Amino acid sequence: MSVIRFRNLLPLALIFALPAVMLCGQEAAAPAAAPVATPAVVDAALLQKKTGEWIATRRLIGEEAAAWQTEKNSLAELNAIRAKESAQLDEFVKTATVRIEELTTRKGTLAKEQTDLKAWRTKLEADLSTLEAGLRPLLPRFPAPLREKIEESLLRLESPEADSPLQNRARDLLLVLQACLEFQNALTLHNEVREIGGERREVEVLYLGLTQAWYVDTSGEHSGHGVPGEQGWIWTEDPAIAARVRSAIEVHARRATPAFVELPLSNTVVGKEGAK
């Protein structure tokens, strides 16, 4: 807008100045004549007027130029700000693009891990089901002292729930297997109440792992041995071994001096011969 105004005012200044220039030329070309007072005064006044208008025009041009310079500086600053904002946006887009690529890669990795975990869980569930199915027929063979240690886990194995969490099933199975291993590798003395000769009698039972056991009552009159069966332990009364079973129990309980004690083993375990 300032440039347009400057261009419009320049011809106007030239038009105002042209008569003064022409007047000066005519005065120089005209032959010398007698001076006339009135025209000279009029020409001087016109010249002064034109000069004032030219000065005003030049001032206006200067003001417009200054205003344009100020506006140009403002536009330059605005352009610099927008260029900076544009650079920041470019950097943001670049960073966001890198981040999106990283997230996409991470998403793919997590999706693969999720797929692997699902496959692992499916396999683990199948393995647990196989182990549980193989262990359930053996549960009746667990003697009383072993069942007491893992009673809750055995109940869940014997009567499984359809919506039981996988981690609970794995925990119960591990507890049962660990308890079986510990019981199998040790001699265990346990007090039980058993019906003998039509009477309920308290007996002490010495278990040799999960394979053999011997019992004797407090009077020493009733004794016998037992082996695990498909429906539970099978007990056979044998009063002849009462003294030996009592001696073995006393040694095991550290109430007697250590000594070798002969105890019979079931034929179903080691054949027809006994063992020490």
Domain map of the chain by residue range?
131-185, 187-276
* 64-68 long-range contacts, CB within 8 A, separation 24+: 64/2, 64/5, 64/6, 65/2, 65/6, 67/2, 68/2, 68/3
What is the tens place of the pLDDT at every residue in 120-134? 999 998 999 999 999
Contact (Cβ atoms closer than 8 angstroms) between residue 225 and residue 238: yes
Q: What is the DSSP letter of 239?
A: G
Q: Are 19 and 56 in contact (CB under 8 A)?
A: no
Q: Helix and strand tally (H, E) in the chain? A: 7, 5
**H/E run at residue 69:** helix 37-135
**Residue partners of 276: CB distance under 8 A and separation at least 6:** 260, 261, 262, 263
What pLDDT was estimated at residue 15?
A: 45
Q: Which residues contact 273 (CB under 8 A, 6 or more apart)?
A: 265
pLDDT at 79 over 50: yes
Average pLDDT in the chain: 83
Residue 259 has pLDDT above 80, yes or no: yes
pLDDT, residue 48, reads 87
pLDDT given at position 41: 55
Angle between the N-to-C axes of helices 37-135 and 166-184, in degrees from 0 to 180, rounded to the nearest 10: 40
Cβ atoms of 137 and 230 within 8 Å: the answer is yes
In this prediction, residue 186 has a pLDDT band, given cuts at 50, 70 and 90, of very high
Percent of the chain with pLDDT over 70: 81
pLDDT digits (tens, 9 = 90+) for 43-67: 888 888 889 889 999 999 999 999 9
String of DSSP letters for 118-145? HHHHHHHHHHHHHHHHHHGGGGGGS-HH
Average pLDDT for 180-193: 94
**Cα torsion angle, 103, 109, 115, 119, sign:** negative
**Any idea what DSSP says for residue 64?**
H
pLDDT above 50: residue 269: no
Predicted TM-score (pTM) of this structure: 0.59
Average pLDDT over residues 211-233: 92
pLDDT at 7: 45
pLDDT the model gives residue 172: 94
Average pLDDT over residues 7-16: 46
Report the pLDDT averaged over residues 207-215.
95
Q: Give CA separation, 58 vs 229, 246, 267, in Å.
A: 125, 136, 134
Across 74-78, average pLDDT:
91
- Quick one: tokens of 233? 């332990």
